[in-house]
Protein backbone atom coordinates (compact mmCIF):
# COMPACT_ATOMS: atom_id res chain seq x y z
CA UNK A 1 0.00 0.00 0.00
CA UNK A 2 2.73 2.48 0.91
CA UNK A 3 4.39 2.05 -2.50
CA UNK A 4 1.07 3.03 -4.10
CA UNK A 5 0.62 6.08 -1.90
CA UNK A 6 4.16 7.43 -1.29
CA UNK A 7 5.98 8.56 -4.45
CA UNK A 8 9.55 7.32 -4.55
CA UNK A 9 9.24 4.96 -1.59
CA UNK A 10 10.94 2.13 -3.45
CA UNK A 11 13.83 4.38 -4.45
CA UNK A 12 14.30 5.52 -0.86
CA UNK A 13 14.44 1.91 0.34
CA UNK A 14 16.85 1.01 -2.44
CA UNK A 15 19.31 3.72 -1.41
CA UNK A 16 19.44 2.75 2.26
CA UNK A 17 21.95 -0.05 1.75
CA UNK A 18 24.11 2.14 -0.51
CA UNK A 19 24.15 4.86 2.14
CA UNK A 20 24.97 2.25 4.78
CA UNK A 21 27.84 0.88 2.69
CA UNK A 22 29.30 4.36 2.48
CA UNK A 23 28.68 5.66 6.02
CA UNK A 24 27.95 2.78 8.42
CA UNK A 25 30.81 1.36 10.46
CA UNK A 26 31.01 -2.42 9.97
CA UNK A 27 28.98 -4.14 12.67
CA UNK A 28 27.36 -0.93 13.91
CA UNK A 29 23.81 -0.72 15.20
CA UNK A 30 20.92 0.62 13.12
CA UNK A 31 17.59 1.94 14.42
CA UNK A 32 14.49 1.96 12.23
CA UNK A 33 11.93 4.13 14.02
CA UNK A 34 8.32 3.61 13.07
CA UNK A 35 9.46 0.47 11.28
CA UNK A 36 5.98 -0.78 10.36
CA UNK A 37 6.46 -4.19 8.68
CA UNK A 38 10.24 -3.85 8.51
CA UNK A 39 10.77 -2.86 4.88
CA UNK A 40 13.90 -0.83 5.68
CA UNK A 41 15.43 -3.73 7.59
CA UNK A 42 14.72 -6.10 4.71
CA UNK A 43 16.33 -3.64 2.30
CA UNK A 44 19.50 -3.58 4.40
CA UNK A 45 19.57 -7.35 4.83
CA UNK A 46 19.06 -7.83 1.11
CA UNK A 47 22.30 -6.05 0.29
CA UNK A 48 24.61 -6.31 3.33
CA UNK A 49 26.32 -9.26 4.97
CA UNK A 50 24.87 -10.65 8.23
CA UNK A 51 27.78 -9.27 10.26
CA UNK A 52 27.65 -5.83 8.65
CA UNK A 53 25.05 -4.38 11.03
CA UNK A 54 22.70 -5.01 13.95
CA UNK A 55 19.13 -3.80 13.53
CA UNK A 56 16.40 -2.68 15.90
CA UNK A 57 13.01 -1.76 14.52
CA UNK A 58 10.64 0.17 16.77
CA UNK A 59 6.89 0.57 16.35
CA UNK A 60 3.89 1.34 18.56
CA UNK A 61 1.59 -1.15 16.85
CA UNK A 62 1.62 -4.66 18.39
CA UNK A 63 0.36 -6.12 15.10
CA UNK A 64 3.13 -4.44 13.10
CA UNK A 65 5.76 -5.58 15.60
CA UNK A 66 4.54 -9.17 15.49
CA UNK A 67 4.47 -9.25 11.70
CA UNK A 68 7.91 -7.65 11.37
CA UNK A 69 9.41 -10.15 13.80
CA UNK A 70 7.94 -13.04 11.84
CA UNK A 71 9.11 -11.58 8.53
CA UNK A 72 12.68 -11.21 9.76
CA UNK A 73 12.66 -14.73 11.19
CA UNK A 74 11.45 -16.10 7.87
CA UNK A 75 13.43 -13.95 5.45
CA UNK A 76 16.77 -13.24 7.14
CA UNK A 77 17.32 -15.64 10.08
CA UNK A 78 21.10 -15.20 9.95
CA UNK A 79 20.86 -11.48 10.71
CA UNK A 80 20.73 -9.78 14.12
CA UNK A 81 17.27 -8.26 13.69
CA UNK A 82 15.02 -7.34 16.60
CA UNK A 83 11.79 -5.37 16.85
CA UNK A 84 10.55 -3.51 19.92
CA UNK A 85 7.08 -2.25 20.74
CA UNK A 86 7.80 1.20 22.16
CA UNK A 87 7.22 4.95 21.90
CA UNK A 88 10.19 6.47 20.08
CA UNK A 89 9.84 9.63 22.18
CA UNK A 90 10.69 7.81 25.43
CA UNK A 91 12.87 4.92 24.23
CA UNK A 92 16.33 4.62 25.78
CA UNK A 93 18.60 4.70 22.73
CA UNK A 94 21.78 2.69 22.38
CA UNK A 95 24.76 4.12 20.47
CA UNK A 96 24.11 3.67 16.76
CA UNK A 97 25.78 4.27 13.44
CA UNK A 98 22.61 4.89 11.48
CA UNK A 99 19.06 5.90 12.38
CA UNK A 100 16.21 5.63 9.90
CA UNK A 101 13.14 7.80 10.42
CA UNK A 102 10.98 7.12 7.37
CA UNK A 103 7.64 8.97 7.37
CA UNK A 104 7.38 8.86 11.15
CA UNK A 105 8.33 12.29 12.52
CA UNK A 106 5.39 13.86 10.68
CA UNK A 107 2.92 12.00 12.91
CA UNK A 108 4.40 13.36 16.15
CA UNK A 109 3.02 16.56 17.68
CA UNK A 110 5.14 19.46 16.46
CA UNK A 111 6.24 20.17 20.03
CA UNK A 112 7.82 16.69 20.32
CA UNK A 113 9.83 16.68 17.12
CA UNK A 114 12.81 18.79 18.18
CA UNK A 115 13.27 16.89 21.43
CA UNK A 116 13.31 13.57 19.60
CA UNK A 117 15.83 14.74 17.01
CA UNK A 118 18.09 16.04 19.78
CA UNK A 119 18.01 12.62 21.47
CA UNK A 120 18.75 10.89 18.17
CA UNK A 121 21.72 13.14 17.54
CA UNK A 122 23.08 12.21 20.96
CA UNK A 123 22.59 8.50 20.23
CA UNK A 124 24.50 8.57 16.96
CA UNK A 125 28.15 7.59 16.97
CA UNK A 126 30.65 10.10 15.54
CA UNK A 127 30.42 9.72 11.78
CA UNK A 128 26.87 8.37 12.02
CA UNK A 129 23.96 9.42 9.82
CA UNK A 130 20.24 10.04 10.22
CA UNK A 131 17.89 9.35 7.30
CA UNK A 132 14.74 11.47 7.63
CA UNK A 133 11.99 10.91 5.05
CA UNK A 134 8.85 13.04 5.28
CA UNK A 135 5.83 14.37 3.50
CA UNK A 136 6.46 18.09 3.13
CA UNK A 137 4.53 21.28 2.54
CA UNK A 138 5.68 24.09 0.24
CA UNK A 139 5.87 27.61 1.66
CA UNK A 140 4.48 28.98 -1.62
CA UNK A 141 0.74 28.28 -1.66
CA UNK A 142 0.52 27.95 -5.44
CA UNK A 143 3.49 25.59 -5.63
CA UNK A 144 2.11 23.58 -2.75
CA UNK A 145 -1.30 23.30 -4.41
CA UNK A 146 0.34 22.09 -7.63
CA UNK A 147 2.35 19.42 -5.80
CA UNK A 148 -0.75 18.23 -3.93
CA UNK A 149 -2.79 18.06 -7.13
CA UNK A 150 -0.08 16.06 -8.89
CA UNK A 151 0.18 13.79 -5.84
CA UNK A 152 -3.52 13.07 -6.14
CA UNK A 153 -2.95 12.32 -9.83
CA UNK A 154 -0.21 9.91 -8.76
CA UNK A 155 -2.61 8.13 -6.43
CA UNK A 156 -5.31 7.93 -9.10
CA UNK A 157 -2.77 6.40 -11.47
CA UNK A 158 -2.09 3.78 -8.81
CA UNK A 159 -5.73 2.76 -8.51
CA UNK A 160 -7.14 5.06 -5.82
CA UNK A 161 -10.60 6.49 -6.39
CA UNK A 162 -11.47 10.14 -5.75
CA UNK A 163 -13.53 9.01 -2.76
CA UNK A 164 -10.57 7.10 -1.29
CA UNK A 165 -8.29 10.07 -1.81
CA UNK A 166 -10.77 12.40 -0.11
CA UNK A 167 -11.34 10.03 2.80
CA UNK A 168 -7.60 9.59 3.35
CA UNK A 169 -7.04 13.34 3.28
CA UNK A 170 -9.79 13.86 5.85
CA UNK A 171 -8.47 11.06 8.07
CA UNK A 172 -4.98 12.58 8.15
CA UNK A 173 -6.07 16.17 8.71
CA UNK A 174 -4.57 17.42 11.99
CA UNK A 175 -2.91 13.99 12.42
CA UNK A 176 -0.16 14.33 9.83
CA UNK A 177 1.15 17.90 10.05
CA UNK A 178 4.04 18.33 7.60
CA UNK A 179 6.96 20.74 7.77
CA UNK A 180 8.58 22.63 4.93
CA UNK A 181 11.97 21.38 3.80
CA UNK A 182 13.58 24.48 5.29
CA UNK A 183 11.90 23.77 8.62
CA UNK A 184 13.17 20.18 8.60
CA UNK A 185 16.73 21.32 7.96
CA UNK A 186 16.27 23.89 10.72
CA UNK A 187 15.13 21.21 13.15
CA UNK A 188 18.17 19.07 12.30
CA UNK A 189 20.54 21.99 12.81
CA UNK A 190 18.92 22.86 16.13
CA UNK A 191 19.29 19.23 17.21
CA UNK A 192 23.05 19.47 16.72
CA UNK A 193 23.65 18.23 13.19
CA UNK A 194 26.24 20.46 11.54
CA UNK A 195 25.25 19.35 8.05
CA UNK A 196 22.13 18.02 6.36
CA UNK A 197 21.01 17.78 2.77
CA UNK A 198 17.96 16.81 0.77
CA UNK A 199 19.10 13.83 -1.29
CA UNK A 200 15.70 12.86 -2.73
CA UNK A 201 12.47 14.66 -3.58
CA UNK A 202 9.41 13.53 -5.49
CA UNK A 203 6.47 15.97 -5.49
CA UNK A 204 5.68 16.71 -1.81
CA UNK A 205 7.76 13.86 -0.41
CA UNK A 206 11.45 14.14 0.43
CA UNK A 207 14.27 12.30 2.14
CA UNK A 208 17.10 14.06 3.99
CA UNK A 209 20.41 12.84 5.33
CA UNK A 210 22.01 14.46 8.37
CA UNK A 211 25.62 13.85 9.37
CA UNK A 212 27.24 13.70 12.78
CA UNK A 213 30.86 14.63 12.41
CA UNK A 214 33.47 12.05 13.35
Binding site: residue ranges?
9, 34-36, 87-88, 102, 169
Q: Is the dihedral of CA 135, 149, 173, 36 positive or negative?
A: negative
Q: For residue 139, which phi and psi values (nearest 5 degrees)?
A: -65, -30
The annotation places the binding site for S-adenosyl-L-methionine at 9, 34-36, 87-88, 102, 169
Quick one: which H or E segment has residue 14?
Answer: helix 9-23
Q: Are strands 124-135 and 28-33 parallel, antiparallel or unpaired?
A: unpaired
Angle at CA of residue 124, ends 121 and 130, nearest 5°: 70
Question: What is the secondary structure of 87-145 as a DSSP string?
Answer: -TTT--PPPEEEEEEES-GGGS-HHHHHHHHHHHHHHEEEEEEEEEEEEB--SSHHHHH
Angle at CA of residue 127, ends 125 and 132, nearest 5°: 85
Question: In whole angstroms, what is the distance from residue 104 CA to residue 95 CA?
Answer: 20
Question: In whole angstroms, what is the distance from residue 83 CA to residue 37 CA?
Answer: 10
Amino acid sequence: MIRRSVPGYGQILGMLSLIAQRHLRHGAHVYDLGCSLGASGLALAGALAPDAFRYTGVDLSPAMVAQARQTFADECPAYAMQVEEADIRTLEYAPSGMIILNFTLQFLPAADRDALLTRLYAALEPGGVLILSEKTVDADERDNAWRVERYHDFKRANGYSDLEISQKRTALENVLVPDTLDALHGRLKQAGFPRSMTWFQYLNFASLIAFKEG
